[in-house]
Amino acid sequence: MPDDYCFITKDSLIVKAPKRSPLFLRMVVLIFSMVCGLYIFSVCSKQISSQTVENILNIQVIQKSCEMPEIEPSERLYVNFPKPTTFSREECECNPVRSFAILSTQRSGSGWFETLLNSHTNISSNGEVFSVKPRRSNISTIVETLDNIYNLDFNTSASMNECTAAVGLKWMVNQGLMQHHEEIVDYFNTRGVSTIFLFRRNLLRRMVSILANSYDQNAKPLNGTHKSHTHSSKEAAILSRYKPTINTTTLISDLKLVDDMVKKALEFFKGTRHIILYYEDVVKNQTKLMDVQDFLKVPRRDLSSRQVKIHKGALSSQVENWHDVKKTLKGTPYQSFLVEDHKG
């Protein structure tokens, strides 16, 4: 009996002890796990919170580092720090960029002028952007295109210059500019876009250039290709052989139409920050190019172009019916076009 008793007692101890111990241990482990979890969560939350604040502060510091304290308050509107999505500006991301638009008319030297600007390391002009009709179909497409240009996201090689200090385009006044002039002026003044007017004083020379260019589009005397601009004296000599016949019946009204269009453009956009240039003045006086660089606030450089002038010499040698033209313009407000210095 004592042995049985002891056996039973031992068996009881052996059986009952394991039933209580795991439950108790599980409770302890569970509580410990919960406490540890809460502690870890608390620590991580604090780290994430402090890291977020630190990131925000870092972003603010980066943004503030792009501020240029030496820029006068009146000039701040015209300074931007583009963040293009198509490429990285790298070490130049905090270089300030100014926006501009060259407003002109066809065959007024704007192509030549733009190549001069693009020869400057820090200037990027994107060409005659609104010659593509869908881009000027309405004010929304115009604004969208301008936004891309001034954010350096326009898809041209001129746009993707990380160290650009001035970015713009060439815009003919008959390419949606006049129809939407109020909205565009507002955009220019809000966005800080500067206007460069470039026109031709001698509208008769411009007319000769237009007629000759139109002839070249059809005849294609340069090996069957059309070239609006040339880069060799040989090509220029070939194209200059053509002498257009000017319609004297509509000559005065045609000149007046262009003259009025130029005057309207000057009037509509006079409220923008602007500079007025004439092709003839730029040709004769190289300091005009310095004035443009000062206007765009870029370092002065010697600018160059590979383009070769097509029509040289006196107008009388370039027009087939010169005698009739001279007779038609004599005594009119456009008489000065007949005798103006041929260097223009």
Q: How far is CA 209 from the centre of its chain?
A: 28
Report residue 342: phi and psi, to 5°.
Answer: -70, -10
Identify the three-state secondary structure at position 271. coil
Sign (positive or negative) of CA dihedral 129, 134, 139, 143: negative
- Helix 203-219, helix 251-268: angle, nearest 10: 110
Burial (CB < 10 A; 0-12, 13-18, 19+), residue 332, is middle
* In the chain, where the domains are located: 75-338
Contact 100, 266 (CB under 8 A): no
Question: How is 311-336 classified by DSSP, letter by letter?
Answer: --S-GGGT-TTHHHHHHHHTTSTTGG
Name the nearest CA neighbour of 135 among 176, 105, 102, 170.
176
pLDDT given at position 7: 40
For 26, phi then psi, to 5°, come to: -60, -40
Determine contact, residues 192/80, Cβ cutoff 8 Å: yes
C-alpha span between 30 and 34 (Å, rounded): 6
DSSP E strands in the chain: the ranges are: 98-104, 123-125, 166-172, 193-199, 274-278
The angle at the Cα of 130, spanning 128 to 131, to the nearest 5 degrees, equals: 70
pLDDT of residue 163: 84
How far is 87 from 77, CA to CA, in rounded Å? 24
**pLDDT tens, residue by residue, 69-114:** 578 888 889 999 999 998 888 888 888 999 999 999 999 999 999 9
Helix axes 181-191 and 139-150, enclosed angle (nearest 10): 30
C-alpha–C-alpha distance, residues 77 and 142, integer Å: 21
CA 5, chain centre distance (Å): 102
Give the number of other CB atoms < 10 A from CB of residue 73. Answer: 6
Write out the two tokens for 155. 């898809």
Which two three-digit tokens encode residue 29? 């482990």
The C-alpha R_g of the chain, in whole angstroms, comes to 37
**Run means of pLDDT, 10 residues per run, the chain, 344 residues:** 43 46 67 72 59 47 57 88 88 91 97 96 95 97 97 76 88 97 98 98 96 91 84 89 97 98 98 98 95 97 93 93 98 92 52
d(CA 74, CA 46): 44
d(CA 220, CA 235): 12
pLDDT value at position 343? 52
- What is the C-alpha to C-alpha distance for residues 37 and 236, in angstroms, rounded to an integer? 83
- Identify the CATH number of the domain defined by range 75-338: 3.40.50
Give the global pTM.
Answer: 0.79
Q: Which residues pair with 163 in a beta bridge?
A: none
